[in-house]
Amino acid sequence: MSKTLLYGATKIDETNSAYAPVESLAAFQWKNRVFILFADKDNARAARQENQLLSDRAALDERDIVVLKVSAGKVRALFGAADGLDGEAICHDLDGTEAGEFAAFLLGKDGTVKLKVSEPITSGELFAIIDSMPMRAAETLKPDK
């Protein structure tokens, strides 16, 4: 399984595009974390990932996560609201996958890529990664979260 965790680097080179906010998803910046799936509609790994994530909608909502699926250049919101997004632009910005391949990305509220996986990730693993982020830790201290 290939998993690249970009969060937690000891020194961030801000000129590196891996740490630059994703322009095509700027509407979510500072409001939501975004989990993006890339795969054809008949991809078994994508279906497994969708089922994993959508089985705990309360946890997604608590962590302000929007789940998007990009397939054949089209974007479909699986959880949360997302209108007018350009699947081709998202694919280009994230160096998405070849047709039929699976990949998933987690963007933090700052709009940068925090995680890239080529195999489905469990919701527990995803939530643990998010919960270890400083911004999430600060959110849990607020009385309204």
Burial class (CB in 10 A: 0-12, 13-18, 19+), 139: middle
Q: How far from each other are the two terminal CA atoms of the chain, in whole angstroms?
A: 33
- At residue 38, what is the residue type? F
Q: What are the beta bridge partners of residue 115?
A: 5, 106
pLDDT of residue 126: 96
pLDDT tens, residue order, the chain (145 aa) = 455 555 443 333 344 455 578 888 999 999 999 999 998 878 899 999 999 999 999 999 999 999 999 988 899 999 998 888 999 999 989 986 666 789 999 999 999 999 999 999 999 999 999 999 989 988 888 876 4
> What architecture does CATH give domain 21-131?
3-Layer(aba) Sandwich (3.40)
Burial class (CB in 10 A: 0-12, 13-18, 19+), 52: middle
DSSP assignment of 75-120 equals EEEEES---S--HHHHHHHTT-PPTT--EEEEE-TTSSEEEEESS-
pLDDT of residue 13: 39
pLDDT of residue 15: 44
pLDDT of residue 5: 53
pLDDT of residue 133: 92
Q: Is the dihedral of CA 75, 77, 80, 82 positive or negative?
A: positive
Token digits for 128?
């643990």
Q: In the chain, where are the structural domains located?
A: 21-131
